[in-house]
Structure 1
């Protein structure tokens, strides 16, 4: 089992958007935080399956969330 960092934020039109920065283009959404997180899990699984099916190597993207004080 792998662990991925995801970023969840409120969507302008309502609900929530979730992205997985380690997997470029892997984005999902949901009406609630819980639904959005469940949907991103499905999106990550589909993304990884597509990589495997097409023998594309897993992207190596190191993600760090850093606080910046202004």
Structure 2
């Protein structure tokens, strides 16, 4: 069995919990009440997404050759109030 790697984005929500986005699987989004549940839900969503791709004989993308990085930059004082962190 081949192991596929997927990058996920965990975005904290204002009311608590985390939205999880899997960028390489278009529309693959889920939610968890905490980081552990969010990661578990992401695994479940990815499995379901891949199962659907295989069922419909579509290619299965992965992030095996991808690298993830963060870019930081400064914003003017007026803009800081508008930035949601």
TM category (shorter chain) comes to 0.7 to 0.9
Q: For the Cα contact (< 8 Å) 2:24–2:62, is it kept in 1?
A: yes
Task: Specify every segment of 5 or more residues in structure 2 that has no aligned partner in the other structure, as ranges.
Answer: 75-85
CA-to-aligned-CA distance 1:4-27 (integer Å, 9 cap, x gap): 000001123321111100000001
1:48 alignment counterpart? 50
- Counterparts of 2:19 and 2:43 in 1: how far apart (Å)? 13
So what's the TM-score if we normalise by structure 2?
A: 0.70
Task: Specify every segment of 5 or more residues in structure 1 that has no aligned partner in the other structure, as ranges.
Answer: none
Q: Which has the larger radius of gyration?
A: 2
So what's the TM-score if we normalise by structure 1?
A: 0.83
Alignment RMSD, CA only?
1.9
- Corresponding pairs, count: 70
Q: For the Cα contact (< 8 Å) 1:14–1:31, is it kept in 2?
A: yes
Q: For the Cα contact (< 8 Å) 2:18–2:35, is it kept in 1?
A: yes
Q: For the Cα contact (< 8 Å) 2:6–2:62, is it kept in 1?
A: no
1:34 alignment counterpart? 36
